[in-house]
């Protein structure tokens, strides 16, 4: 039976505003908001006592935007959530996600994301062309 974990995280920062060019010209750096989100997510996963999962993964994320956000592209928020799964130690690398489902949920006061991560059994991809 594949292992599955379900939990919620706070509303993530958008990818459009979470990175900026480094002063030394060597790549991109994360904003304070993105670093704070990753830290908060890390402690959330730590508090839930989730053990690392084995790849590959299926990830489903439902985005419940804050009421004050009128227009948003869920794809711009996905990267911060998946990176938090890695930084929180739940998954080894987001490149090991074989199936990714993104959905828009109902709005709520502060916003949050509902996440389900499932281990995909190795033989689940057998016979697929």
**Tens-of-pLDDT digits for all 129 residues of the chain?**
789 999 999 999 887 666 555 667 677 666 788 888 889 999 999 999 989 999 999 999 999 999 998 888 999 899 999 999 999 999 999 999 999 999 999 999 999 999 999 999 876 555 554
The residues spanned by each domain of the chain are 4-17+31-123
* In contact, 125 and 25? CB cutoff 8 Å: no
Round to whole Å and give the CA distance between 62 and 33. 21
* Beta bridge partners of residue 109, listed in sequence order: none
Round to whole Å and give the CA distance between 64 and 107. 5
* Ramachandran angles phi, psi of 92, nearest 5°: -80, -35
> What class is the 4-17+31-123 domain?
alpha beta
Tokens found for residue 20: 């900026």
* In contact, 102 and 82? CB cutoff 8 Å: no
Q: Strands 57-64 and 97-104, how do they pair?
A: parallel
């Amino acid at each position: 039976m594949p292992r599955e974990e379900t939990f919620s995280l706070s509303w993530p920062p958008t990818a459009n505003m979470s990175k900026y060019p480094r002063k030394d010209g060597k790549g991109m750096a994360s904003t304070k908001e993105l670093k704070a989100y990753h830290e908060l997510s890390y402690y959330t996963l730590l508090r839930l006592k989730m053990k690392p999962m084995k790849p590959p993964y299926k990830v489903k994320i439902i985005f419940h935007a804050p009421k004050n956000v009128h227009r948003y592209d869920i794809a711009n928020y996905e990267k911060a959530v998946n990176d938090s799964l890695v930084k929180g130690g739940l998954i080894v690398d987001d490149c090991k996600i074989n199936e990714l489902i993104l959905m828009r949920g109902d709005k709520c006061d502060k916003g949050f994301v509902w996440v389900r991560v499932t281990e995909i059994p190795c033989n689940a991809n057998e016979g697929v062309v």
